[in-house]
Amino acid sequence: MRAYVYLAIAILAEVIATSSLKATAEFTRPWPSLLVIAGYGTAFYCLTLSLRVIPVGIAYAIWSGLGIVLVAIAGYLLYQQKLDAPAILGMVMILGGVLVINLLSKSAAH
């Protein structure tokens, strides 16, 4: 279970870092830039810790799937970036894939 905690921290750190990229103004603003660097550093370190137990393909599928959805939500909330129906449908399908992997796949570490 600890591996999934590390993976969750990795995902959240990556989402924070990615969502902060726009605020860096092409890395000309120091505080958002530091947040991006720290976020990605934390994300990759925690991802490596999760890989002690979770297969790399499964971890990456969960990381990227949840990351896509969470960054899209952050873009909507922080930058008023609109999501249309096909985008929302696609993200629902991505979440469905993450659930299938975690609930039904024997490849995932349970």
Which pLDDT value is given to residue 66?
A: 95
> 58 and 98 in contact (C-beta within 8 Å)?
no
Owner of token pair 């921290």: 9
For the entire predicted model, the pTM comes to: 0.89
> In one letter, which amino acid is 44?
F
What is the average per-residue pLDDT within 85-91?
Answer: 95
For 4-61, write each residue's pLDDT tens digit: 999 999 999 999 999 999 999 999 999 999 999 999 999 999 999 999 999 999 999 9
pLDDT reading at 105 higher than 90? no
pLDDT value of position 5: 98
Q: What is the pLDDT of residue 80?
A: 95
